[in-house]
Structure 1
Amino acid sequence: MPGTPGKEQPRRRQARGERRIQQLLDAAASVFCATGYTAASTNAIAREAGVSPGTLYQFFPNKEAIAIEMGDRLVHEMRETYGEALAPVDPATPLADAVGAAVDRFMTFNTEHPVFFTLMHGPDVPGGITEAHDALHATLVGRIEDLLTSLLPPDTDRAHVRRTAHVCLGVYKAGLELALGHEGAEREAYVQETKDVLVRYLDPLVGDRLGQPAH
């Protein structure tokens, strides 16, 4: 078709640019995880990516821009993850299965992207990421509330559901930090401990809602 070669060239340039951006983001993730955000530098990121600082600056003006772009992509992917992980469940689903499925999805995401924890929970992160984290946290708590509503008795007070959601998220974050600090069988053990703590916490609240006796 006439004109097609002219259209293909910008597409190829765009594809090359996206690959370079991803290369820089992957390098930044390694540096942020190794040194923390504060100690990281654009020179270290460029060195990790195997490019010159000048090449990096063609795509990002500073490390904050890199972190914000990375955070945006991770938050988008995380939203897709919790959309699946925190959907209401069939009341016949055993509590341990419901909790285990949600924890597994989140643990998998966070262990595959450890930089997410570094950026979201570090002592000094860019304002844009802090805002994204606050929005994500609020939405995440809301989705956990939705999941709990499908598990808890229908007359449960909404304020109690919200408190329970906050406690569940706090327990998960503590378990995640421990899991990220270990590998292999030891990491799996911490993931299982996290599930066990959540099940034991929720079991008396759920009672026979899922066909299980309250203890």
Structure 2
Amino acid sequence: MPDNSQKDSPQKEQPRRRQARGERRITQLLEAAASVFCTTGYTAASTSAIAREAGVSPGTLYQFFPNKEAIAIELGDRLMHEMREAYGEALAPVAPATPLEEAVGAAVDRFIAFNCDHPVFFALMHGPDIPGRIAEEHDALHATLISRVQDLLLSLLPDARPADVTRTAHVCLGVYKAGLELVLSHEGAERDAYIEEIKKVLIGYLGPLVGDRLGTTGTTAATAPRPA
């Protein structure tokens, strides 16, 4: 009986090649869009500028995306997926003996690294006129991030009241986001200096709450979270 696998393989390979070429083109367009969004912001960006940055015609761009909102949504979806994958590593509960400085430093370094590798993430998530779907995704992302920060804090503050942990998580995330804009607007040694300042602020804030349980001094009856 003849083997048809060899005969069929060329026909099967054609769609795969077209699919691979299409995915490469999409990646090219998304990388160009990321560059344009970072340079001009989402509102001022245009499909013509994105096509020019990608080195293709606007007609080629429209074969894959109907408008710049669709590009931003696809780019945002991919970045959201990567960011969510980073949560597990960056905000995993820590061992009881882990020093506070180490726990905070590891979390900050991983999130800073992601945002420095993908500066467009900040531009899309915090722009004044981002598409509604991205805004909704950002809200969901924020809620997830708060939940993960709470889990991390609970490993540092096992006796704290839930309301105290939630409040502390919001403050930590607010401090980080405020510092992130400064980090992304600088490079080299100055960027590193701002990263260290963020760590100092967070450690200084959490230190009195955590106390010497993780090798940090400063806990008092007035500042330690009350047991539930």
Q: Same fold (TM over 0.5)?
A: yes
Deviations 1:152-178 (A, max 9, x none): 1x2211001000000000000011100
Equivalent positions of 1:86-101 (< 5 A) are 86-101=91-106
Aligned partner letter, 1:184: G
- Look up the match of 1:72: 77
Identity, % of aligned positions: 78
TM-score under structure 2 length normalisation: 0.92
Give 1:18's match in structure 2, choosing from 13, 18, 23: 23
Structure 1: any 5+ residue segments left out of the alignment?
none
CA contact (8 A) 2:51 2:58 kept: yes
Give 2:187's match in structure 1, choosing from 159, 176, 183: 183
| RMSD of aligned Cα (Å) | 0.8
- Look up the match of 2:146: 141
- Counterpart CA distance in 2 for 1:203 and 1:86 is 18
Equivalent positions of 1:1-215 (< 5 A) are 1-2=5-6, 3-152=8-157, 154-214=158-218
Structure 2: any 5+ residue segments left out of the alignment?
220-228
Please report how far the alpha carbon of residue 93 of structure 1 lies from its aligned counterpart in structure 2 after TM superposition: 0.6
Specify the structure having the higher radius of gyration (Cα): 2
Q: How many residues are matched?
A: 214
- Counterpart CA distance in 2 for 1:71 and 1:158 is 32
Please report how far the alpha carbon of residue 78 of structure 1 lies from its aligned counterpart in structure 2 after TM superposition: 0.3
- Counterpart CA distance in 1 for 2:95 and 2:68 is 45
Deviations 1:87-141 (A, max 9, x none): 0000101100000000000000001100000000000000010011000000000
- Counterpart CA distance in 1 for 2:113 and 2:138 is 19
- Look up the match of 2:222: none
